[in-house]
Amino acid sequence: MARSAPVLLGAAMLALGLAAGPAAALSSPQPPNDSEVVSNPNPSPTGSGAPDDNPFLNTPEPEEEEEEEPPAEEEQPPPRNTPPPKPSRTPTAKPTSTAAPTRTARPVTRDGSQPTTGPAPTASPTTEESPALIEDAIMANDAILKAGTLTAGDAEAQATLVDVEDQRIIQTRAALTAMLQTGGIAAAQRKQPQVFVSAHGRTLVLPARNTEAPYTLKDLAAVEKGRYLRRLKDGSYLLGVQIFVADGARLQLRGPLTLRMGSLPGSFSSIIAFGGDIEIKGTAKRPVRITSWDVRTQKPDLTTTDGRAYIRAVGGEFEMTYAQVSHLGFWSGRTGGIALTGTERPASVYRHRTKDQRHQDKQERLANTRRGDRGGSNFGDVETIPIGPGTASHVLADELVSGSIKNSVITGDAYGVFVSGSNQTQIINNKIRNSLVHGVFMHRFAKNATIEATEVTGSGGDGFVLSRATEKVKVVDCLAARNKRNGFTLNGRALASGPSASGESLAVYGDSSVSNSTARDNGRYGVEVLGGSRLAVQTSEIIGGDMGIVVREGASGVQISGNRLTDQRRQAIALRDGATGAHVAGNTITGTVTGIYLRNSAGMVVGNKITTKSNPKAHGITVVGDATGSEITRNTVVGSGTSAISVARAADTVNKHNNDEDRWNDTSSFWVKAKRYVKPMNVIWAGVILLVVVSAIRSRGVTDRRQGRGEIRNPYEQQRLLAEGRFVRLRHAAPPPPDPFESVAAVHPSWQLQPAPADEDPSRRVRPAASHADSAPVGGRG
């Protein structure tokens, strides 16, 4: 009873400063359920200031000469006055108190002896439990994640952790807002660092101050005298709590600084700004170093399936320069390492402005209205002017995040940099290495961003990704090398193809570009363009890969110009699957089997220089399928293979002219050459021509047979005129047989049979009858 009295007293004091509603529920002395958050507005000192039951800080400091075994969490006895946790997926933490002491186990080494380094922990007058671990988290290493062989259990564990983080952030914001709305002295007292405890873990909240002074590392270390931020012997700091930077607050981390963010299975630290600002600033010689830290192994946390420390800005501003960040993030983009995300709950920036500033904002709005300018960017204004071809990103100005990441090195994060719902973000002069998923990922509604002089190497996915609903993003002087998939991906497709549950627009996105950049030896493509409008790849160099630049998914108005493409395994530039209005001009292509490939796509292919490999299947330019409206002109094709410019498989006639094919060595076979011309209309016309030729030849043969020595003879030369022969008198004899000529003689008495000459056949001669009655003329030969 004596032990529980201070607990009840502290809870009663806390209830006096809380209002009805969500805040009233927080004052209950009972352990909170999964939807409750309990705050400790006046954290009390912990004796000597040594860490007590914090699993991140209750460990020996790193020792360079001798590596010691971290303490085993299961060997720590629970506090005597702590009730058993409620049965749930995540054990429920008890509200903080200010008096009841508890015992904690001293860290032990592998052989059971106590470590010799680090201050000895002392009894701490508090009843807090260690942050609960996620019992169902499955251990796996990053090699499994890269290989894409995660089991369903692994995926479920990580997705659950992301959901828990979202709930914790929302609950913390809601609880802080309810407390501040009470007003009066209680609300004024809340404007200082305080700890919220819920079923989802412990959160150190940094509310907005009455002054413009930022929170610093010194402020974090002062909370409960270093209970959540501990300085180690090597000068680094170990963070053992979730940090929440509220609306109007600003957290500033200056170099030189080494910050190790505690990361245990299911219990990890994070730095999150919800409407607030985060500023991480170092110099070239005095950078800020941030990494996850597994206190058990005294090394960065290399396991992602059980959660890992991360940094995120939700709305507000994020600024990082000269920082070295490594091994942060897990599973999703917003928990992927360094994430800049917009929010559907606008930051309350407007109410943090002074009275004079609010009056000035009002005057500017009125002035803009009189001028007819209704697309300003003042606080709370709605952007009414589209930022591209049919943009759907009409969002409140306060919902967008803005910021910059410059001169930094990011290694081994899940996502190197993840940006969504942002405006005018700058990512300049950074090196992003060995990201587990993508290097730089610009997600939905990221617009007007600049990515410049940034290198992404060794990512498990793509180097740079401009996802759907991104627009007016410029990628300049960047390098994407040895990534598992594409070097650069530009996706301008619409968010929906028809009616959808969220009612997304059917408009496409675009106006983004990649210029003066390099893609080298990536696993898939150098640059892939998916849909969209007015996307561009210009004056860049693509080396290696399966294909160089691939345009597909109905992209329109794509500009591909002035690029150098070398040593692709299949095609250097490919327009496929409905790309229209493409302009492929002034590119130099060498060392590939097919230079430019068009399949069911249309575009202008002008002024390119193509030198292919000496391959029997090589083509300079190939057109397949429907390419209506395409034009191929003034290209120079050099090499040896099947064809320099092949349009035999095009469905319609392609306008091909003024191309230089003189230095192309055609190695195709006879049948291949024949197939180029064997088309239905060609066959019909060939048959007609053949018929004419055969007819002419036959008539020529007949004429030749009638010729002598080359002169044409009279066709009637063999015929003779009728002539008279000598008379032959027939003697009377026996009655002759009936003569067929009698009928004739009866009709024509003047015709009679005449005797034939001696040298001729009498039967062949007929002549007029003589005057003798007993004689008949015989016709002669004519």
**Would you tell me how many other CB atoms lie within 10 Å of the CB of residue 118?**
20
Q: State the average pLDDT over residues 634-649.
A: 91
Among 193, 172, 190, smallest CA distance to 181 is for: 190
Confidence grade of residue 748 (pLDDT, cut at 50, 70, 90): low
Element (H, E) at 636: strand 636-641
Structure confidence at residue 653 (pLDDT): 85
Among 541, 396, 413, 385, smallest CA distance to 471 is for: 385
Residues 580-636: tens digit of each pLDDT: 999 999 999 999 999 999 999 999 999 999 999 988 888 999 999 999 999 999 999
Structure confidence at residue 401 (pLDDT): 84
Among 377-386, 393-402, 563-572, 711-720, the range of highest mean pLDDT? 563-572
Q: Tokens for 656? A: 């091909």
Query: Both ends of the chain: CA-CA distance in Å?
Result: 161
Structure confidence at residue 81 (pLDDT): 35
Q: State the average pLDDT over residues 320-330.
A: 96
Structure confidence at residue 379 (pLDDT): 34
Round to whole Å and give the CA distance between 340 and 419.
5
Element (H, E) at 202: strand 201-206
- Whether 85 has a pLDDT exceeding 60, the answer reads no
Residues 165-180: tens digit of each pLDDT: 999 999 898 888 888 8
What torsion, rounded to 10 degrees, do the Cα atoms 693, 695, 700, 703 define?
Answer: -170
Round to whole Å and give the CA distance between 415 and 437.
6
Round to whole Å and give the CA distance between 494 and 489.
15
Among 39-53, 264-278, 725-739, the range of highest mean pLDDT? 264-278
- Whether 156 has a pLDDT exceeding 90, the answer reads no
Among 506, 501, 573, 503, smallest CA distance to 533 is for: 506
Q: Tokens for 760? A: 């001729």
How far lies 352's CA from each of 252, 348, 403, in Å? 18, 7, 19
Structure confidence at residue 547 (pLDDT): 97
Alpha carbons within 13 angstroms on the beta-carbon side of residue 736 total 9
- Do 725 and 733 meet the contact criterion of CB atoms below 8 Å apart? no
Q: Tokens for 37? A: 């958050």
Structure confidence at residue 772 (pLDDT): 46
Q: Tokens for 217? A: 């590392």
Round to whole Å and give the CA distance between 364 and 326.
44
Instruction: Classify strands 455-457 and 440-442 as parallel, antiparallel or unpaired.
Output: unpaired
Confidence grade of residue 671 (pLDDT, cut at 50, 70, 90): low
Residues 537-562: tens digit of each pLDDT: 999 999 999 999 999 999 999 999 99
Among 516, 509, 547, 515, smallest CA distance to 531 is for: 509
Round to whole Å and give the CA distance between 341 and 313.
6
Confidence grade of residue 232 (pLDDT, cut at 50, 70, 90): very high
What's the one-letter identity of residue 345?
A: R
Round to whole Å and give the CA distance between 484 and 488.
12
Among 403, 391, 560, smallest CA distance to 468 is for: 391
Average pLDDT over all residues of the chain:
75
Residues 339-395: tens digit of each pLDDT: 999 865 444 444 455 556 666 766 776 676 555 544 433 333 333 334 344 444 444
- Whether 40 has a pLDDT exceeding 70, the answer reads no
Q: Helix or strand or coil: residue 742? A: helix
What's the one-letter identity of residue 579?
A: A
What is the Cα Rg of the chain in Å?
47
Residue with tokens 């192994």: 297
- Do 73 and 130 meet the contact criterion of CB atoms below 8 Å apart? yes
Q: How many helices (H) and strands (E) does the chain have?
A: 10, 52
Residues 10-29: tens digit of each pLDDT: 433 333 333 333 333 333 33
Among 205, 153, 208, 264, smallest CA distance to 43 is for: 205
Residue 710, by phi and psi: left (phi above 0), alpha (psi -120 to 50) or beta?
A: left
SS (H, E, C) 220-277: HHHHHHCCCEEECCCCCEEECCEEEECCCCEEEEECCEEEEEEEECCEECEEEEECCE
Helices (H), 576-678: 670-677
**Would you tell me how many other CB atoms lie within 10 Å of the CB of residue 154?**
20
Element (H, E) at 10: helix 4-16
